[in-house]
Amino acid sequence: MTATRIDGKAFAAALRERVGSHALDFASKAGRKPGLAVVLVGEDPASQVYVGSKGKATVAAGMESFEHRLPADTSADALLALVDKLNADENIDGILVQLPLPDHLDEHSIIASISPDKDVDGFHVINAGRLSVGQSGFVPCTPLGCMMLLTDRLGDLSGLEAVVIGRSNIVGKPMAQLLLDANATVTIAHSRTKDLAAVVKRADIVVAAVGRPNMIGKDWLKPGATVIDVGINRLPPEPGKEKGKLVGDVAFDEASEVAGAITPVPGGVGPMTIAVLLRNTLVAAHRNAGLAVPEGI
Ligand code: NDP
């Protein structure tokens, strides 16, 4: 068997198109574009790249991007004052504080200061709580993107065995919650799980969010399983090359011999994250303006 390659890049591009056309519609009704504020503290090179791409994608989707780049020694008070200002700004629907923050800033208290109704990253405890009790709020972008790929591929997930490897607050836990809400039978595995290979072998759906290159081989997979690889790992560079290859947590080539469908790295889950961020911002804009959220978005 050769697995179907789940093309997250194409799915994300289509989602961004849909968001863009709804954003135009929103602007004609509300008299302003949806607005996303992104706050970056410090000069972490990876974060700078992420913030730059988020800004470009926001503008390309017909939304207003507000970027705030603050020095690494910004005080907690100054950052909280900026978040307060953004919370009160009616032109801003979504606020994202790029993580990680420098060590002297407490991520939990900064995220807690964002209005839950503008928390388009879905990291606020209120939104985590809403997800866990089944109320509508904002769901973290990466797991929501994985869920979109899964339902697009499989339709109804009722009764399927799902194994999520990883239990972080931003990927593993919300992923498990979404799968549970979709009536899958869910196992969350982590670094203390015994005989992980046997646990994964039961799964019709495997979501790997670990951060260990090529950890999951073909022997771990049930034939026909749908595999969503969230991991992004850079291998050491080959001789003569400046950068190593990007790989996921799943050994893609060999897993493709057994799985029914699988996301590649890159080009699978990665592109979904920003597309879902734009989707969440569009939803926030409609809610904040008292307009009906477009269906099927
Ligand atoms: P974390 O480091 O927060 O969590 C990793 C999880 O993996 C933990 O729950 C940990 O278990 C578990 N784990 C570690 N080693 C093992 C092991 N040997 N066996 C089983 N479980 C293990 O990572 P994130 O959730 O933030 O991210 C996971 C991966 O996804 C990373 O590669 C990250 O780069 C990528 N990522 C990709 C995104 C995208 O846009 N595509 C977005 C976010 C993340 P324990 O809790 O016991 O320590």
Number of domains in the chain: 2
Instruction: Write out the residue range of the structural domain in which residue 187 sits.
Output: 141-271
Known catalytic residue: 249? no
CA distance 258 to 130: 37
96, 107, 121, 232: residue to mutate for ligand 1 pocket, most atoms within 8 A of CB: 232
pLDDT digits (tens, 9 = 90+) for 82-93: 999 999 999 999
Position 15 scores a pLDDT of: 98
- Same domain as 229, residue 186: yes
Q: Report which secondary-structure segment, H or E, holds 228.
A: strand 226-229
Print burial letters for 114-125: b (CB count within 10 Å at least 16), e (below 16): bbbbbbbbbbbe
- Same domain as 158, residue 100: no
Answer yes or no: are the C-beta atoms of 40 and 48 closer than 8 Å. Answer: yes
Position 201 scores a pLDDT of: 98
Known catalytic residue: 54? yes
In the block, tokens 């913030």 appear at: 51
Query: Which residues have C-beta atoms less than 6 Å from ligand 1?
Result: 142, 165-168, 170-172, 189-193, 196, 209-212, 230-233, 269-270, 273
Residue 37 belongs to a domain with what CATH number? 3.40.50.10860
Question: How remote is the CA of residue 128 from the centroid of ligand 1, in Å?
Answer: 18
Whether 134 is in a domain gets the answer: no
User: Does the reported pTM lie above 0.75?
Assistant: yes
Whether 121 is in a domain gets the answer: no
CA distance 67 to 47: 13
Residue 198 belongs to a domain with what CATH number? 3.40.50.720
Which residues of the chain are modeled with pLDDT < 50? none
- Same domain as 160, residue 267: yes
Residue with the smallest CA separation from ligand 1 atom 31 is: 211
Question: How remote is the CA of residue 170 from the centroid of ligand 1, in Å?
Answer: 9
Cα 201 to chain centroid distance, Å, stands at 25
pLDDT digits (tens, 9 = 90+) for 98-118: 999 999 999 999 999 999 999
CA distance 65 to 62: 9
- Same domain as 178, residue 96: no
- Same domain as 64, residue 184: no
